[in-house]
Amino acid sequence: MIVLGIETSCDETGIAIYDNQRGLLAHELYSQVKLHTDYGGVVPELASRDHVRKIVPLVERTLQSAGLDKQGIDGIAYTRGPGLIGALLVGSSMARALAYAWKKPMIGVHHMEGHLLAPMLDNNPPSFPFVALLVSGGHSMLVDVKGIGEYRVLGESVDDAAGEAFDKTAKLLGLDYPGGPLLSKLAEEGETGHYQFPRPMTDRPGLDFSFSGLKTFAANTIRSCDGAHQTHANIALAFEEAIVDTLLIKCKRALKQTAYKRLVLAGGVAANKRLRASFENATKSGAFEVFYPSLAYCTDNGAMIAYAGCQRLVAGQRTEISATSLPRWPLENLSPLKNV
Ligand code: ATP
Ligand code: MG
Ligand code: FE
C-alpha cells in the first residue's frame, strides 16, 4: 500500500510517500523557522497561513519526486493532533479534500505516535516491546510501547518539555528560535567543570521530569556571569549535560521497571549529538540497545506520518471524513493494532 502523509501540527509542512513494500518513496519539508524567528517563537496564525501557501505545491512536488500521480496513491494519512488547531486544520482539509476527490481511504495519525515510530523508517528498526523517550518541543515522555497503538505513559514532564527548556535557555543566551540546535552548537565550544547544574527529580523515585527549574537556574547563572562568549559556551555545555544526564537516569529507571532491553529516542531533541553519544556510551554496559531516527526524522516531518498511517490503513483502520482535528489527544487513547 502506498500512502501520502501530511504533517502540519506546528511550523513545518511535511509531505511524504511511504510504500509498505518499498519503503519511503519521497519526502519533502518546508520549515517556517525564518518566519517565526523575529517573534522568538511560533505565531499560530502565521503558521496556519503559511501552511495554506505551501501545502499544495509541496504535495505536487512530492508526487513528482516519487514519480507517481493520484492513481498511484492508495491512502492518505494526516496529523489529526495534538498540535496548533489552525495548523492542524490545514493538513486535515488537504487530506479530506484528497481522500474525497481521489476516493481513497484516509487515516488521522497521532503526531507523537509518528515521532515514536520514526525509527521504523531506518534500516535497523527496533522490535517490540521497547521504552520510548519522546523529547520534543511540546512533550517529554517515557512510554512503554508493547506494539503499535499499545502505549502506556510511564512518566512525563510536570512543567516544560525538554525542547522547550532548550529553546528558553537558548533565548536567555541570546540565541535565535528555535534555540535547541544553536545552544548545542555553542556547547561544543564549552569547557566542562565551570558550572554544575542540578539534575531535577533524579533524587526521588518515579519517572516524571521537570525542566523549568533548569531554565531558572540558567537564567540566574547567565544574569550573574561576565557575558563573555566562552562563559556562555560553558553555561550551554553545563545545561546540556544536565538535561542529557537527567534523561539518561530516567531512561535507565524505566528500562529497569519494565525489564525491557530496547530504548527508542524520538522527537526533535533526539537530534541532539551529546544525547545520542551519551546514550550510545551507556549501551556499552550491554544492559540495553538504543535506537533513534536519522536526523531528518527526529524533528517534524511527513515521513513519520505516512509510515504510521500506512500501518493503520493496512490493518483496515479508517478515519471518517467528518472527523474533527484534536489539538489535545492523549497518546493512551489510541487503538491497538495487532495484525501487522
Ligand atoms: P511536539 O512534537 O511535542 O508537538 P514539536 O513538533 O514542535 O513539538 P519537534 O519538531 O519534534 O517538536 O522538535 C523541535 C524541538 O527540538 C525544538 O524545541 C528544538 O529546539 C529541539 N531540537 C532540535 N534539534 C535539537 C538539538 N540538536 N539539540 C537540542 N534540541 C533540539
Ligand atoms: Mg517545529
Ligand atoms: Fe513534533
What ipTM goes with this model? 0.98
271 lines ligand 1 (CB under 6 A): yes
C-alpha cell recorded at residue 320: 471518517
Q: Could you read off the pLDDT of 72-130 as tens digits, one per residue?
A: 999 999 999 999 999 999 999 999 999 999 999 999 999 999 999 999 999 999 999 99
Query: Among 332, 338, 329, 305, which residue's Cα sits nearest to residue 120?
Result: 305
How many CA atoms lie within 13 Å of 181's alpha carbon, on the beta-carbon side? Answer: 8
In a domain, 340, yes or no: no
Which residues surround the ion ligand 2 when the cut-off is CB under 5 Å? 10-12, 300
To which H or E segment does residue 230 belong? Answer: helix 229-258
Question: Is 272 known as a binding-site position?
Answer: yes
Statement to judge: residues 150 and 281 lie in one domain: yes
- 5: buried, middle or exposed (CB in 10 Å: 19+, 13-18, 0-12)? buried
Distance of alpha carbon 340 from alpha carbon 194, whole angstroms: 51
Statement to judge: residues 206 and 306 lie in one domain: no
Ligand 1: residue of 112, 211, 215, 300 to mutate (most ligand atoms within 8 A of CB) is: 300
- Degrees, nearest 5: CA angle 170-175-179: 50
For ligand 1, atom 20, the nearest C-alpha belongs to 180
- 176: buried, middle or exposed (CB in 10 Å: 19+, 13-18, 0-12)? middle
C-alpha cell recorded at residue 161: 518539555
pLDDT interval class at 339 (50, 70, 90): low
Q: Could you read off the pLDDT of 197-254 as tens digits, one per residue?
A: 999 999 999 999 999 999 999 999 999 999 999 999 999 999 999 999 999 999 999 9
Statement to judge: residues 265 and 173 lie in one domain: yes
Statement to judge: residues 165 and 228 lie in one domain: yes
**Residue 340, pLDDT score:** 46
Classify 37 as helix, strand or coil: helix
**Residue 338, pLDDT score:** 72
Question: Is 115 known as a binding-site position?
Answer: yes
CATH number at residue 106: 3.30.420.40
Q: Could you read off the pLDDT of 161-195 as tens digits, one per residue?
A: 999 999 999 999 999 999 999 999 999 999 999 99
Query: Among 330, 322, 238, 308, which residue's Cα sits nearest to residue 20?
Result: 308
Domain of residue 304: give its range: 2-117+297-333
Q: Inform me whether the pLDDT recorded for 322 exceeds 90.
A: yes
The total domain count for the chain is 2
Q: Could you read off the pLDDT of 22-79 as tens digits, one per residue?
A: 999 999 999 999 999 999 999 999 999 999 999 999 999 999 999 999 999 999 999 9
In a domain, 18, yes or no: yes
In a domain, 338, yes or no: no
Statement to judge: residues 286 and 302 lie in one domain: no
Residue 11 CA: which ligand 1 atom is closest? 7
Residue 164 CA: which ligand 1 atom is closest? 18
Per the listing, cell 524505566 goes with 254
Query: Among 77, 63, 14, which residue's Cα sits nearest to residue 308?
Result: 77
For residues 126-146, one letter each, b for 16 or more C-beta atoms within 10 angstroms of the residue's C-beta and e for the rest, the string is: beebbbbbbbbbbbbbbbbbe
Statement to judge: residues 174 and 187 lie in one domain: yes
Statement to judge: residues 238 and 313 lie in one domain: no
Question: Is 180 known as a binding-site position?
Answer: yes
CB 320 within 8 A of CB 120: no
Distance from residue 34's CA to the centre of ligand 3 (Å): 18
